[in-house]
Amino acid sequence: MSALLRSSLSRWRRAATLVLAAGWKHPGLAAQALPPPSVEDFRVLLLQRSEQQRFLPGAYVFPGGALDAADRSADWLRLFAPHHGPPYFNLVTRPRPRTDFPVLPAMETDAADGDDAALPYDVAFRICAIREAFEEAGVLILRPRASLAAAPELGRALPPPPDVTAWRARVRRDPRHFLHLCEHLDCTPDIWALHEWNIWLTPFFRYGSHRFDTTFFLCCVREPPPVEPELAEVVGFQWSSPSEAIKSFMSEEIWLIVPQFYEIRRLENFASLSDLHRFCLDHVLEEVERWMPITLLSADGCRLLLLPGDELYLEDSYFVENVMSTEKSSEELMKEGKKFHRVVIHSRHDYSIHVTVQSKYKHVYPKNCVVNKSHL
């Protein structure tokens, strides 16, 4: 393969994201002003990325980041022992999504695939999401080793240690120190509190860009833990109900990228934290969906992100590294179509979701969402 061709291909990495939903009976614990009342009794943690970051500057995102080799290290085995160990670590396993489309090139962390002692991805992705939540927000989703019986209960964040700042600096420099922190606290990452929610692949937007194959996990905790942004990559945060987060986005107070917008819209299906947690427990054996959005540029300048199930979606490897285009306007495409699973990006703060298909694996999809900003 020529150097020119190699440089034009996307650089893929595996990643994990934590959607942290907290009960809101005692909102004073969140150390911020109360948001306006909303119907949901839970809030979701959103972190504000620094404007100085090259990737998604200024966006409000869920905690998360790239999988590191340390997250798969066999050194974790001694911490989980003797109560939990290979192959499943007392996780309720589910079928992994079929990976026939798209087929991605080998990634850095795949080097451990031949190591029988390396942690399975089901465990490593959870450790990654928990580690990133600590690095970015100072939140520790850990469980004391003395109480490692995996119970189907709401999670609880561990109070940060007195020397949390020093530990975060070490972990940011070298993710292997997260294991050392857990050993120091005599805890393990609470992998049992994390439920697989969805898998998003970064859509194509520029040749040679960094893209991620990201597993989203949902974690329900009884109350919001203290949050302390690390002030380099993350400069702020807010606890928002799904409905309030969407209102803030539409009124241009915050900016959400499409996966966050879609998932927050999906969470609007749940009025209570207990309903959300029960849904996760009831669907633990269902397969999780894996989505590679395909970008369609319309004649009126809109971007349509097509998702599996949409009548225009093509499982064609060409569109992993290219966009589709049409001479029709977005309005014409909507009038002519019937089978939709798409997000229409009209402008930076104006998205609409159109879903007429059913989930293959009994998940919930967002309700159709077309917002007239003049009504806000």
Per-residue pLDDT of the chain in tens (376 residues, 90 and over written 9) = 333 334 468 899 999 999 999 999 754 444 444 445 556 899 999 999 999 988 899 999 999 999 999 999 999 999 998 878 888 888 887 767 666 789 888 887 776 666 777 899 999 999 999 999 999 999 999 999 887 655 667 888 999 999 999 999 999 999 999 999 999 999 999 999 999 999 999 999 888 788 999 999 999 999 999 999 999 999 999 999 999 999 999 999 999 999 999 999 999 999 999 999 999 999 988 999 999 999 999 999 999 999 999 999 999 999 999 999 999 999 999 999 999 999 999 999 999 999 999 998 999 999 876 654 443 3
The predicted model scores a pTM of 0.91
C-beta separation of 146 from 172 below 8 A: no
The alpha carbon of 325 is separated from its chain's Cα centroid by a whole number of angstroms, namely 28
CB atoms within 10 A of CB 132: 27
Q: How far apart are CA 8 and CA 31, in angstroms?
A: 46
The strand pair at 294-297 and 64-66 is best described as: unpaired
DSSP assignment letter at 191: G
Using DSSP's 3-state secondary structure scheme, residue 155 falls into: strand
As a whole number of angstroms, the distance between CA 196 and CA 93 comes to: 10
Instruction: Tokens 């911020």: give the residue.
Output: 32
DSSP state of 54: S
β-sheet bridge partners, residue 355? 341
Phi and psi, residue 316, nearest 5°? -125, 120
